[in-house]
Chain A
Amino acid sequence: MSSQFESSVTDTTGGQSAESGGEPLLSAKGLKKHFPVEQSFLDRLFGDDEWVHAVDGVDLTLAERETLGVVGESGCGKSTLGRTLSRLYEPTAGTIHFDGEEISDAEGDRLKALRKDVQVIFQDPLSSLNPRKTVGEIVGKPLAVHDIATGEAKDERVAELFEEVGLSPDLRDRYPHEFSGGQRQRVGIARALAVEPKLIIADEPVSALDVSVQAQIINLMKRLQQEYGLSYVFIAHDLSVVRHVSDRIAVMYLGKIVEEGPTHDIFEAPAHPYTKSLLAAIPSITGEMGRRTVHLDGNPPSPIDPPSGCPFHTRCPEYIDEECEADEPALQPVEQSAESDPERHRSACHWNDRDEADRAAQSPYGNDVGG
Chain B
Amino acid sequence: MSSQPRPTQRAGPSVSTTVTEEPPLLAVDNLHTTFTTERGDVPAVDGVSFAINEGEVFGIVGESGSGKSVTALSLLGLADGATVTADRLCFRDEDLLAKDEAALREIRGNDISMIFQDPMSSLNPVMTVGEQIAEVVRHHGDVGESQSLFAELRRKYVTGTSESSASWQRAVELLDTVGIPDPADRANEYPHQLSGGMKQRVMIAQALAGDPDLIIADEPTTALDVTIEAQILNELLDLRDEFGVSIMLITHDLAVVRETCDRVAVMYAGEMMETADTRTLFEDPRHPYTRGLIDSIPRTDDDREWLDAIEGNVPDPTAKPQGCPFRTRCDAAFSLCEEPLVAYSAEEPGHRTWCHLYNDAVANDGDEVQRVDDAEAKQLIQEHEASDDLVTPQRPNFGGEYR
* Residues of A bordering B, CB below 8 Å: 73-74, 162-163, 166-171, 180-183, 210-216, 218-220, 222, 237-241, 243-244, 267, 277-279, 281-287, 289-292, 294, 296-297, 299, 371
Do residues B237 and A291 form an inter-chain contact, with CB atoms below 8 A? yes
A291 to B311, CA, bound (A): 32
Give the distance in Å from the alpha carbon of A182 to the alpha carbon of B399 in the complex.
14
| Complex contact A240–B293 (CB within 8 A) | no
Task: Write the nearest CB–CB distance from A34 to chain B, whole angstroms.
Answer: 22
Name the residue among A170, A210, A287 with the largest chain B CB count within 10 angstroms.
A210
| B226 cross-chain contacts in A, Cβ below 8 A | 237-239, 278, 281-283
State in angstroms the CA–CA spacing of A163 and B402 once bound together: 9
Cα distance, A13 to B259, chains bound together (Å) = 39
| In contact, B301 and A166 (Cβ under 8 angstroms) | no
- Distance between A343 CB and nearest chain B CB, rounded to angstroms: 24
Within 8 Å by CB of A239, from B254, B278, B300, B399, lies B300
On whether the beta carbons of A287 and B301 are closer than 8 Å, the reply is yes
Complex-state Cα separation, A1 to B252, whole angstroms: 42
B20 interface contact, C-beta 8 A: no
**Inter-subunit contact A212/B296 (CB<8 Å):** yes
Q: Determine whether the beta carbon of B296 is less than 8 Å from that of A211.
A: yes
Contact A299 B278 (CB under 8 A): no
Contacts of B314 in A (CB 8 A): 180, 210
Is B9 engaged at the interface, CB distance under 8 Å to the other chain? no
Judging by beta carbons under 8 Å apart, are B225 and A237 in contact?
yes
Question: B119-149, CB under 8 A of A: which get 1 and which 0?
Answer: 0000000000000000000000000000000
Kindly list chain B residues whose C-beta atoms are within 8 Å of the C-beta of A282.
Answer: 226, 255, 300
A345 to B283, CA, bound (A): 36
Cβ-based interface call for B83 (8 A): no
Asked if residues A278 and B258 are in contact (CB atoms below 8 Å), the reply is no
Select one of B227, B230, B293, B305 contacting A211, CB under 8 A.
B293
A-B pairs, top 5 by smallest CB distance, nearest first, are: A168-B400, A283-B255, A215-B309, A166-B402, A210-B63
The complex places the Cα of A229 from the Cα of B235 at a distance, in Å, of 46
Q: Say yes or no: B234 contacts A74, CB within 8 Å.
A: no
Assess whether B234 is in contact with A299, with CB atoms less than 8 Å apart: no
Contacts of A243 in B (CB 8 A): 298, 300
When chains A and B are docked, how far (Å) is the Cα of A356 from the Cα of B9? 58
Q: How far is the CA of A222 from the CA of B402 in the complex (A)?
A: 13
Contact A212 B234, beta carbon cutoff 8 Å: no
Asked whether A294 lies within 8 Å of B230 as measured between CB atoms, the reply is yes
Could you jot down 20 A-B contacts, CB within 8 Å?
A166-B400, A168-B399, A211-B293, A212-B63, A212-B310, A215-B308, A216-B309, A239-B226, A244-B307, A277-B227, A279-B300, A281-B229, A283-B259, A285-B258, A289-B259, A289-B278, A292-B230, A292-B233, A294-B230, A297-B231
Chain B: interface residue total (CB-CB under 8 A):
49
Residues of A within 8 A of B231 (CB): 294, 297
Of listed A210, A220, A283, residue having the most chain B CB within 10 A: A283
| Nearest opposing residue in chain B for A72, CB measure | B225
- Assess whether B307 is in contact with A215, with CB atoms less than 8 Å apart: yes
* With contact pairs A183-B313, A291-B237, A294-B231 given, residues A284 and B279 touching in the complex (Cβ less than 8 Å): no
> Which of A163, A277, A285 sits near B282, CB closer than 8 Å?
A285
Provide the bound-state CA to CA distance between A210 and B227, in Å.
21
Of the candidates A166, A284, A299, the one whose C-beta lies within 8 Å of that of B258 is A284
CB of B197 within 8 A of chain A? yes
CB <8 Å contact, A210 and B197: no
Question: Do A286 and B299 have beta carbons less than 8 Å apart?
Answer: yes
New contact pairs (10) apart from A212-B293, A218-B307, A292-B234, CB-CB < 8 Å: A211-B252, A211-B253, A212-B310, A281-B229, A284-B259, A285-B294, A285-B297, A289-B258, A294-B227, A299-B228
Would you call B382 an interface residue if the criterion is a C-beta within 8 Å of the partner chain's C-beta atoms? Answer: no
State whether B300 touches A267 (Cβ < 8 A).
yes
Give the distance in Å from the alpha carbon of A296 to the alpha carbon of B313 in the complex. 37
| Distance of B382 from chain A, by nearest CB (Å) | 26
> What does the 1/0 interface line of B305-341 toward A look like (CB < 8 Å)?
1111111011000000000000000000000000000
CA distance A291 to B230 in the complex (A): 8
Chain A hits for B162, CB < 8 A: none
Report if B195 contacts A (CB, 8 A).
yes
Residues of chain B with a CB closer than 8 A to A215's CB: 296-298, 307-310
* Residues of chain A with a CB closer than 8 A to B229's CB: 281, 283
A240 touches B309 (CB 8 A): no
Distance (whole angstroms) from the CB of A277 to the closest CB of chain B? 7
A218 proximity list for chain B (CB < 8 A): 298, 307, 309
Q: Give B309 Cβ to nearest chain A Cβ, in Å.
A: 4
From residue A140, how far is it (CB to closest CB) to chain B in Å? 18
